[in-house]
Amino acid sequence: MPHAPFELPVGCGTEAEFRDELTRLVGPDAERAWPSLLRITGDSSSGFRLTLEVAGNRRDFEHSDCRVLFRSALVVAATSVRAQEVTAPPPAPPPPAPPTAPAGANPPEPDRGDGPGWRATASAGAGVAVGVVPNATAAFEARLGGELGAFGALLGGRYFVPRYVEVEGRGVDIHGFGLELALRFEPIDLLAVSAGFFADVLVGEGVTGIELPLGDSAWTLGPSLEIAVIPINTRHLSVELALSGRVAVQRPVFEVTGFGQVYQVPRFGLVSVARGVFHFF
């Protein structure tokens, strides 16, 4: 191949690399595609400029990345050998480089809204419940949800650890399993509000002072309202500290036959939970 004036800054490429790549692209036509001038000037701070002359045509390109200009020169040279066979528009100039962050600055984490409009969520948490089974008890939950922008829907399950209640020597252990369906609104990244309905099945088992200890179950139903503070809220993970109030419209009563009532679910209840939420796009 004839020698051509090559002027390339360090790191942009070499004449030998250009020769090898051009041969790979056009094979035996590489000699006809060899440029009579290939010059890249400038630096990374002010940008680079490519001056290329091939097949009697001279072209100039600018870009912030000299490797992009090097590859553009290869494309122009390779397509020049087909100019007499196929009339094709000149290649478009390289796209402008994205804005460069100041030296030493950390790139910001992508905002949660950068992904698609909808996403799925899965969460797990633990906390304390009052007004479900006798006295305060530990509660564990798992939830699945879907969100579209600031709005979403949730389906969750909870387990309430057994608590013991005794009246005049008659004692019963009561634990519970709960389901909850709610709609969610997140006006800002640090706060979410959910409203929905819950259904708990409470299971009581006679323990002391009962001649024929038996188990029984009953349902508690009603609306719920939750407010959650979100101290950590990233694209794929968030942490929520939530407090939900419950109103038991249906309030089951646990009784011992021949004795009477030992426990009735209170009208109002509270569940406080800390949960981790995973976001799937």
Cβ proximity of 80 and 33 under 8 Å: yes
SS3 assignment, position 67: helix
pLDDT in tens, 147-204: 888 899 999 999 999 998 888 777 788 899 999 999 999 998 899 999 999 999 999 8
Number of structural domains (the chain) is 2
Cβ proximity of 133 and 178 under 8 Å: no
Domain contains 244: yes
Residue 244 in tokens? 């939900």
Domain contains 184: yes
For residue 25, what pLDDT band results from cuts at 50, 70 and 90? confident
pLDDT in tens, 45-88: 888 898 988 888 888 989 888 889 899 988 888 888 776 454 44
pLDDT at 101: 52
Residue 201, C-beta contacts closer than 8 angstroms, at least 6 positions apart? 176, 177, 178, 217, 218, 219, 220
Q: At what angle do helices 66-80 and 15-26 cross, to 10 degrees?
A: 40
Asked whether the predicted pLDDT for residue 227 surpasses 90, the reply is yes
Q: Which amino acid, 60?
A: D
Asked whether the predicted pLDDT for residue 244 surpasses 70, the reply is yes
Cα separation, 227 vs 98, whole angstroms: 41
Domain contains 87: no
Q: Which of these, 214, 128, 144, 136, lies nearest to 181 by C-alpha position?
A: 144
Mean pLDDT to the nearest integer, 204-225: 81
In this structure, are 28 and 164 located in the same domain?
A: no
Residue 114, C-beta contacts closer than 8 angstroms, at least 6 positions apart? 235
Cβ proximity of 197 and 180 under 8 Å: yes
Domain contains 107: no
Asked whether the predicted pLDDT for residue 232 surpasses 50, the reply is yes
Cα separation, 122 vs 77, whole angstroms: 54
Cβ proximity of 138 and 258 under 8 Å: no
How far from 12 is each of 9, 24, 244, CA to CA, in Å? Answer: 6, 19, 61
pLDDT at 115: 46
Cβ proximity of 218 and 192 under 8 Å: no
* Whole-model pTM over 0.85: no
For residue 242, what pLDDT band results from cuts at 50, 70 and 90? very high
Q: Which domain holds residue 51?
A: 6-80
pLDDT in tens, 92-137: 666 666 655 555 555 554 444 444 568 899 999 999 999 999 889 9
Domain contains 105: no
Neighbours of 148 (CB within 10 A): 11
Worst-scoring range by mean pLDDT, 101-110, 215-224, 240-249? 101-110
Here the CATH number for the domain that contains residue 190 is 2.40.160.20
pLDDT at 105: 53
Domain contains 237: yes
pLDDT at 88: 47
pLDDT at 81: 74
In this structure, are 157 and 253 located in the same domain?
A: yes
In this structure, are 64 and 177 located in the same domain?
A: no
Asked whether the predicted pLDDT for residue 240 surpasses 50, the reply is yes
In this structure, are 65 and 153 located in the same domain?
A: no
